[in-house]
Amino acid sequence: MPFQKVQPEKLSASVVRQIEKLILRGILTPGERLPSERELAERLGVSRPSLRDAIADLQYKGLLAAKAGSGIFVADVLGSAFSPALIELFATHNEAVFDYLSFRRDMEGLAAERAARFGSDADLAFIQTIFDKMVAAGDPSLSDEAASLDAQFHSAIMDASHNVIMLHMMRSMFDLLHQGVFYNRRIMFSQHITYDALLGQHRDINTALQARDPTAARAAVETHLDYVKQALADHQKSEANAAVAQQRLQHEAEKG
pLDDT digits (tens, 9 = 90+) for 90-129: 878 888 888 988 999 999 999 999 999 999 999 999 999 9
**Segment 214-236, tens digit of pLDDT:** 999 999 999 999 988 888 887 77
Q: DSSP letter at 82? A: S
Closest residue by Cα to residue 15 from 39, 63, 50, 62: 50
Question: For 126, phi and psi rounded to 5 degrees?
Answer: -65, -45
Q: Any alpha helices (H) in 25-163, and if so which ranges?
A: 37-44, 48-60, 84-92, 94-118, 121-137, 144-160
pTM of the complete model: 0.75
The pLDDT value recorded for residue 53 is 93
* Residue 26 and residue 159 in contact, taking contact as beta carbons nearer than 8 Å: yes
Q: What is the mean pLDDT of residues 156-173?
A: 88
* Residue 71 and residue 59 in contact, taking contact as beta carbons nearer than 8 Å: no
Closest residue by Cα to residue 96 from 192, 216, 232: 232
**Segment 22-32, tens digit of pLDDT:** 988 888 888 89
Distance between CA atoms of residues 240 and 57, nearest Å: 55
Q: What domains sit in the chain, N to C, each tagged with a CATH number?
A: 11-74 (1.10.10.10), 84-250 (1.20.120.530)
- The rounded mean pLDDT for the chain is 85
Closest residue by Cα to residue 123 from 112, 133, 134: 112
Strands 64-67 and 71-74: antiparallel
Question: For 66, phi and psi rounded to 5 degrees?
Answer: -95, 140
Distance between CA atoms of residues 132 and 115, nearest Å: 18
